[in-house]
Structure 1
Amino acid sequence: MTGRIGLSTPDLGATEEEFLIRAFRSGWPGPSGPETDRFEVEVAARVGVGHAAAVSSGTAALHLSLLAQGIGAGDLVVVPTLTFAATANAVVYTGARPVFVDADPATGNLDVDLVAELLLAPPRPGSRIAAVLAVDINGACADYDRLLPVCRAAGVPLVEDAAQALGSTYRGRAAGSFGRIGTFSFSWNKIITTSSGGMVVSDDAALIARCRHLATQAREPVPHYEHRDVGYNYRLTNLQGALGRAQLRRLDGLVERRRTLRERYAKLFATVPGTRILGDGESGSNCWLTSLVVDPEVAGWNAEELGAHLRERDIETRPMWKPMHRQPVFAHCPARVTGAADRLFATSVSLPSGSALGEEQISRVLDVVDEFLQRR
């Protein structure tokens, strides 16, 4: 068997083709348009919020979610250190500064105890914690039962980075609906894709209206071009909106395939000492990625050895995110860490998790993993 197996490749088919051709033939490729408008309504309904605005990327969604709340120079924003750089970059775009907080070692999500310590500490002169930005790692929601009361008690708004979590739930409630504002990504490797794209969602109509205004170059509603704010070209095209609508119709099936694959990984590693699936037991996760955590002293091998074995056979893997407080660009930023994210980065490997994987490809991955385990 040949051909590279990717970590999370797009899952596209006849439904997507149908929607794209219809949008193409409408003569309205973009920017924005009726397909994008409908996509917004449908995502809002799926998440269970009142309003949504489609934008060009998940990063743009994060940037707008902060700008719309007036966050800027001199402000501090709590950011998980275990995340993709876009989460922290969006904070810097506003002129604010990220404060990195470590991970819960069991789930990889934000350590709520550390957030509480940070929010309850005396404010630093000349700065304020303006928001807490939570990330739903690998599709598993943060511990919102504990995190939301901490934020409310401190009077600090919560922004939910649900880039990886569309289709996930927490206590029966949809990911993206917990913060004052939530954000999604529809980049090429996410659970659904619009090639590149994102969404801001909220029950606060004024917040979403502000995001939409800033995303469309902040043009005032007059016949000529009038601008009172600096705006951005963050619009999602009509063709992308059509692709998103098609993908959204298939979301439940895409999630189910990823969950089934995770169950197969869990079964394979169940009897392997020193291994665990990160966040295993998070029943509401969409299982966007399945990451294996390895204790090398118990297992007798480490995560990088397994990852290298798979990569040598043209199967993509990667570690968890390198913590933001370890990134040279953010080395000057404050951080409250316990070492949990560092350990997850050093001891984890993310395995192919995409819904587009066929049975032959899945069997190939499992066989190669089993080959590795047998050799040890």
Structure 2
Amino acid sequence: MNTKIWLSSPHMGGNEQKYVREAFDTNWVAPLGPNVTGFEQDIENYIGEGAFVGALSSGTAAIHLGLVLLGIQPGDEVICQSMTFSASANPIMYLGATPVFIDSEKDTWNICPAALEEAIKDRTAKGKKPKAIIAVHLYGMPFKADEIKKTAAKYGIPVLEDSAEALGSSYKGQKCGTFGDIGILSFNGNKIITTSGGGAIVTKTKETKDKAVFLATQARDNAPHYQHSEVGYNYRMSNICAGIGRGQMEVLDAHISLRREMHGFYSSIFASNPAVTLHKEPDPNYYSNYWLTSIVIDPEKSNGKTREGLRLAMERDNIESRPLWKPMHLQPVFEKYPYYGGKVSETLFENGLCLPSGSNLTNDDRHRIKRVLENYFL
């Protein structure tokens, strides 16, 4: 059996253990300490001036806290991009709010500006004006930030920017994570960098960040005893995990370069295949970290070749690939909720596949992947 080639596995840079060892040597193993502060500062320095970052236990926790900070209450409606991982939508349910799902557009595969405005108008006409918009940078590709922000401002609705997959990506030179009223990042094991598990919330002001950190540490009031005036959460990142993150930040740009090289590798393979469309930057305004390189197979041009057939062919060679995210409005848990748009996300799911994209793939790995791809499309 060939060794496993993973879709996107953790890739250590070398100095992670140094920061973790410092945490042990100084006995800073709790969810606070110099690595947490340092990691937050590293991210702030990376994504740009004016960003305030709070390190949390997961990207999902960051979305949940973001919605809390935006004042979402039971019965409120929250717009959410349909084509995404369920973690984008689940926190809406945590708060007893109602998700309203929006189709994708074909250029970036992200939230469709036209369907977004249609939904806002229709929900408002029904007396249920949405209280927030969750927009996602899918697979590291920035969403149409200018259009989404313009529509959100027009109707006075805040944007929660899900940048879980897009650390290092940018639009018109501005780093993803900084477009929304609140942004979130993820450092799950399969992301561009990892803290083994973890995430972050990105805010516009120090006051909002401090409020997020307060809520993430059980909303403990400033008193000599344990006193709580608000409901809090156990969402803070540990100093040990943050130490891994500090080491990972040192190699983030290198990892992005390697992911983009993998995208170029696939681009050369499919350049002469009319049945395969590679997901790519629509124009020079977009800069993707290409966290995952993805393709769509056109069933009318593929002579019977399908996404599932390719996935199984790769699986037989012990190579992991994965269908695109199944849209939330098609998921059993969410199918009863409102949906606006057409069938763009549904068609992408039916015909799309994510290919191995890790920054630690070797030349031997690429040779195996190329052989399977070329043999399948013969």
TM-score by length of 1: 0.97
Q: What is the 5 A alignment of 1:214-253?
A: 214-253=215-254
Deviation beyond 4 Å, 4+ runs, structure 1 = 280-283
Instruction: Tell me the residue number matched to 1:110.
Output: 111
**1:288 aligns to 2:291 (yes or no):** yes
Look up the equivalent residue of 2:273 and give its one-letter code. Answer: V
Amino acid at match of 1:183: I
**Counterpart mapping for 1:160-175 below 5 A:** 160-175=161-176
Amino acid in structure 2 at the alignment position of 1:318 = R
**1:11 matches 2:11:** yes
CA displacement at 1:126 relative to structure 2: 5.5
Residue 38 (1) aligns with residue 38 (2): yes
Query: Residues 270-309 of structure 1: matches in 2 within 5 Å?
Result: 270-281=271-282, 283-300=286-303, 301-309=305-313
1:69 — aligned with what?
Answer: 70
| Partners of 1:364 and 1:158 in 2: CA distance | 42
Letter in 1 for 2:224: P
Confirm or deny that 1:337 pairs with 2:338: no
C-alpha displacement of 1:372: 1.5
Aligned residues: 374
Matched residue SS, 1:349? strand
Give 3-state SS (helix, strand or coil) of 2:10's partner.
Answer: coil
1:327: which partner in 2? 331
**Contact 2:323–2:354, Cα closer than 8 Å, also in 1:** yes
Tell which deviates more after alignment, 297-306 or 193-202: 297-306
Q: Normalized against structure 2, the TM-score is what?
A: 0.96
For structure 2, which runs of at least 5 residues remain unmatched after alignment?
Answer: none
CA deviation profile, 1:146-167 (whole Å, cap 9, x unmatched)? 1111100100011100000001
Deviation at 1:41, TM superposition (A): 1.4
Which residue identity does 2:297 align to in structure 1? V
CA distance in 2, matches of 1:53, 1:340: 35
The CA deviation at 1:206 is: 2.6
Q: Partner residue of 1:357?
A: 361
Quick check: 1:180–1:204 contact (8 Å CA) kept in 2? no
Aligned runs of 1:155-194 on 2, under 5 Å?
Answer: 155-194=156-195
SS in 1 for 2:131: strand
Q: CA deviation at 1:195?
A: 0.6
- CA RMSD of the aligned region, Å? 1.3
Separation in 2, partners of 1:120, 1:331: 21
Deviation at 1:44, TM superposition (A): 1.5
Contact 1:120–1:154, Cα closer than 8 Å, also in 2: no
* Distance in 1 (alpha carbons) for counterparts of 2:83 and 2:308: 18
The question of whether the paired residues in 2 share the 8 Å contact of 1:74 and 1:128 is answered with no
| 2:323 partner SS | coil
Q: Structure 2 counterpart of 1:194, which letter?
A: T
For 1:285, give the aligned amino acid: S
**Structure 2 CA distance for aligned equivalents of residues 205 and 124 of structure 1:** 36
Moved more, 358-367 or 166-175: 358-367
